[in-house]
Amino acid sequence: MRIRSSAIGGGLRASLLRKLVPVAFIAGAVAVLCLLSLPRQFVPTCYQIIVDGEPVAFVENTCVAEEALDAVMVLKSRQYGTQLEVANEVRVSPARSEGAKIVHNKTELARILADKIAFVATGYVINVSGRDVVTLASREEAEGVLQGLKDMFVSAAAKEPGVTVKEVSLSENVSIAEKKVKPTSITDVETAKRVLLRGTDRIRTYKVSRGDSLWSIASRSRMSVEDLRRANPEVKGDVLQVGQTLNLVVPEPFLTVHTVEEKVVEQSIPHPVRYVTDDSLWPWQTVTQKKGKDGIRRIVYQITRANGIETARETISSEIIEEPVEAVVARGSRVVSGKGTGKFVWPARGIITSYYGSRRRDFHQGIDIAAPTGTSVVAADSGIVVFSGYYGGYGKVIFIDHGDDVLTIYGHNSANLVSAGEEVKKGQVIARVGRTGNATGPHLHFEVRIDGRPVDPLKLYQ
């Protein structure tokens, strides 16, 4: 600040003073430092600084006032990261020093001025539907916030396979206006985005622990499960992952980013299967004579979203781009010629360790015959082997069909000596005792089924 003064008719008339610091002043409300016109006989011995008509300090000369105000302006501009202007009317008036407490220390004077003077900055306010919501330091930042929100949802949609964003717009009436604002009201870009999308810049989260559920988290957080879901739209169903971070602030957005997307999906069309009979195959056998191939249907959807949440879906087109190819499967119709005699022989030499009937934990559907590993297992009667292989808890097992809906089962074998489709004779060695499957020791599990239902094998030997 530069002070210029001159003597007129033996008196002093102070010229209008201006701040020459590198910041703009508010038009019509500029902080003006001026000296009052004085009568010729008045000789000032000090100067008083007046803010909005209130004297705040006495100084020896105008340079002290100028330097102190310069210091405050620089300090506040650095503090808020933007150029500031004085919002008050500031004057410097000549005075007499009698009884006045003159401030000599520039630091103390700057502190006094900082307490009394209010500052404003030029801000760019984003207004949504007639309501000022957030303020940015520049128009470029304000425009960048709005464009950034659009880009955020466009990018999120584009990550989904087959999606093309056709339209993106803001549902509300949005404008940007230059205004004089308090420096504290100016926010950064990321905070502005959070406020516009969530209604607040407050952040409150919860990390999922073992045993947590949506209900328990919502209850502890004093919110409903519905609100918790609204705060976390990415959570699908009720499944949570340990370590997952949930947002506990329910969004009340000021701004709605509206997107219209086109999604192309290719769906599989299951191929039909045609069955034919083959008398060279057993009834339990099937052979694929011709492989089928699924078809492909292309569907185009139009999806509408509001802030990333789907609000509507419409099928635009659906066409088959590849027809399914029929499969042909042969089913066996060969007549089972092997017939049992109706009288069983004992399947293995050993000791019965578990009988047919209820046990502690389950119902035992056969008998267990303990024997050393490798002991011969024989067919209880003549028939056709319908299965030979590994089958769950039975381990290595053989199923023999004796006709008349009679079936015998030989489980936990160490080795199977016959294959499916073979005809076996009563007393023929078909396997070796073992402990495969659910077995605590080597033994034969022998089971008899009539009409598909298990019966007590011992009753067939009476």
Specify the pLDDT at position 99: 75
pTM greater than the 0.75 cutoff? no
Specify the pLDDT at position 449: 94
Mean pLDDT of 433-462: 93
| Mean confidence (pLDDT) of the chain | 85
Q: Does domain 351-461 have CATH number 2.70.70.10?
A: yes
Beta carbons within 8 Å of 223's beta carbon, 6+ residues apart: 231, 248, 250
Which pLDDT band holds residue 105 (cuts at 50, 70, 90)?
confident
Residue 29 predicted with pLDDT over 50? no
Which pLDDT band holds residue 16 (cuts at 50, 70, 90)?
very low
Specify the pLDDT at position 202: 64
3-state secondary structure of 187: coil
Specify the pLDDT at position 201: 56
In this structure, which topology does domain 126-247 adopt according to CATH?
Membrane-bound Lytic Murein Transglycosylase D; Chain A (3.10.350)
Residue 124 predicted with pLDDT over 90? yes
Which pLDDT band holds residue 361 (cuts at 50, 70, 90)?
confident
Which pLDDT band holds residue 32 (cuts at 50, 70, 90)?
very low
Residue 155 predicted with pLDDT over 80? yes
Residue 250 predicted with pLDDT over 80? no
Mean pLDDT of 306-317: 92
Residue 1 predicted with pLDDT over 50? no
Using CA atoms, how far apart are residues 307 and 122, in angstroms rounded to an integer? 30
Q: Which stretch of DSSP H or E encloses residue 318?
A: strand 309-322
Contact 347, 427 (CB under 8 A): no
Mean pLDDT of 335-363: 87
Specify the pLDDT at position 100: 78
Specify the pLDDT at position 261: 96
As a whole number of Å, the CA-based R_g of the chain is 46
Domains 261-332 and 351-461 share a fold: no
How is the beta sheet containing 163-170 ordered, strand by strand?
163-170, 257-269, 295-306, 309-322
Using CA atoms, how far apart are residues 191 and 184, in angstroms rounded to an integer? 13
Using CA atoms, how far apart are residues 120 and 304, in angstroms rounded to an integer? 43
Contact 90, 69 (CB under 8 A): yes
Specify the pLDDT at position 336: 64
3-state secondary structure of 393: helix
Give domain limits for the chain. 5-117, 126-247, 261-332, 351-461
Beta carbons within 8 Å of 215's beta carbon, 6+ residues apart: 225
Candidates 256, 145, 143; CA nearest to 199 is: 256
Q: Tens of pLDDT along 186-226?
A: 999 999 998 998 876 566 788 999 988 999 998 888 888 88
Contact 47, 59 (CB under 8 A): yes
Q: Tens of pLDDT along 409-432?
A: 999 999 999 998 899 999 999 999
3-state secondary structure of 44: coil
Using CA atoms, how far apart are residues 89 and 51, in angstroms rounded to an integer? 6
Rounded to the nearest 10 degrees, the angle between the axes of helix 139-158 and helix 189-198 is 60
Residue 5 predicted with pLDDT over 50? no
Mean pLDDT of 108-117: 90
Mean pLDDT of 250-278: 93
- Percent of the chain surpassing pLDDT 70: 89
Residue 337 predicted with pLDDT over 80? no
Specify the pLDDT at position 33: 38
Question: In CATH, what is the architecture of 261-332?
Answer: Single Sheet (2.20)
